[in-house]
Structure 1
Amino acid sequence: MAKVLVTGMSGTGKSTASEMLAARGHRAVDTDTDQWSHWVTLPDGSTDWVWREQAISDLLANHHEGALFVAGCKSNQGRFYPQFDHVVLLSAPAEIMLARIATRTNNPFGKRPEEREAVLRDLASVEPLLRATSTVEIDASAPIDEVVRQLEELARTTP
């Protein structure tokens, strides 16, 4: 019944790991969809892609059997940390992340130069915050099968 948040920067493999976990029979939710996330306008007029808090609350409250893996990286995810057994940071060097983003076909983000610059800015500013609040870090430059194996092993243990 472990609930595991899998977070990290773009290109670290959150969506791919989520797909593989689902294929292995686990409940795995990639929150980068309109069902789980939405755009909000911030007080300064900028926009942010955040979790739909009621949807995430319901997901976590209604999960009672087997492992649940939730993949995402949103500015409001910290509000839910107490409801997770593990907060896992997937990390990889910038060159690996950018190479993955350049070749992925399931997400258009990161193809334009300004988006790639944003990825590097987020790596420098956001990843340290994620690292400070995660309970486990996994080297996502490892083969995806190894990353998924580590996630499955972690889900078998609860703090």
Structure 2
Amino acid sequence: MSGAGKTTVLDELRRRGFRTVDTDYGGWELPDGTWDEPGMNRLLDRHRDLVVSGTVENQVRFYHRFHHVVLLSAPLEVLLHRVTRRTNPYGRTPAQRAEIARYVLTVEPLLRRGATVELDGRRGVSELADTIEALVGKER
């Protein structure tokens, strides 16, 4: 969910030497908000030790290719607090905050069902990165 800390944790993992891709950036998403499936397949074919971040409707089509699907979650109040203070502009308007609240009710339960691990985004960045690093380490 927006504001859960995905980008921050990804930055920390990258700092630690992990190959990461934030699909919110770099052309991985098509205009309809889904992943570019041929592009994602090529990316995953090239890199086994990759940490991918993103939330799109067709991500479930790739779950069989991931060793773990991690849901980073936080209470709505935390998400809304964070989105008003970050550099990414999404979440600053009342309409966007209402959309985030709606997604917590409608999308997050779907993400939870597909996740193999759920982490509390209120935990410290280092602790979250340590947990994900341990998951990735098991697969290396």
TM tier relative to shorter chain: over 0.9
Unpaired runs of 5+ in structure 1? 1-8, 41-48
Q: Structure 1 residue aligned with 2:8, among 5, 16, 38? A: 16
Higher strand share: 1
- Encode CA deviations 1:114-141: one digit per residue, 9 max, x unaligned: 0000000000000001111110111111
- 1:35 match: 27
Structure 2 partner of 1:55: 39
- The equivalent of 1:78 in structure 2 is 60
Map residues 4-153 of structure 1 onto 2, 5 A cutoff: 9-40=1-32, 49-64=33-48, 67-105=49-87, 107-153=88-134
How many residue pairs end up in the alignment?
139
2:129 alignment partner, SS class: helix
Deviation at 1:103, TM superposition (A): 0.3
Give the Å deviation of 1:20. Answer: 1.1
Whole-angstrom distance in 1 between the partners of 2:51 and 2:26 = 18
Alpha-carbon distance in 2 for matches of 1:69, 1:53: 17
- TM-score, structure 2 as length reference: 0.95
**Please, which runs of 5 or more residues in structure 2 have no aligned partner?**
none
Q: Matches of 2:90 and 2:30 in 1, distance apart?
A: 16
RMSD over aligned CA atoms reads 1.0
Percent identity over the alignment is 44
SS at match of 2:105: helix
In the aligned structure 2, how far is the partner of 1:35 from the partner of 1:20? 22
Structure 1 moving runs of 4+ over 4 Å: none
| TM score, norm. by length of structure 1 | 0.84
Quick one: distance in 1 between partners of 2:95 and 2:27?
Answer: 27
* In structure 2, distance between residues paired with 1:17 and 1:58: 24
Aligned to 2:34, the other structure's residue is in SS state strand
